[in-house]
Amino acid sequence: PKAAGEAAAGKFLVNIVNDHLGRYPGSVEDDEELLKGLLAKKAPEAQYIRIRRDERRCMMRLLQEVQSLVAAAAVTDNATATSQREVMTAAPGKSTSHDTIGSSSSVGLAAAAA
């Protein structure tokens, strides 16, 4: 539920950033070359190419960070789901590897589920 919503939000943000990046012509390297030429000529449009290049770099970094967060959330969600399945499928009176000494909460859950 909560993890699914976070995953959906992450995927949505990745799509938005990718769409935005797709609007730029060429690549960052193309902007670098264009900027060098414009700066050499002292062209007034050089400032706009610099802004475009910098914005594109920021968007690429944002995309990397969001993708990392989405991947980390998926791993955490999978680990949590696996842990919950282990607890729910443990035989009554048997502890799972996640139990701590003196804790009977997972055993109680397993007994209740049985």
Distance CA 34, CA 47 (A): 11
Confidence label for 97 from pLDDT (cuts 50, 70 and 90): very low
Confidence label for 113 from pLDDT (cuts 50, 70 and 90): very low
Nearest to 23 by CA among 55, 1, 47: 55
102 conformational bin, left if phi > 0, alpha if psi -120 to 50, beta if neither: left
The model's pTM is 0.60
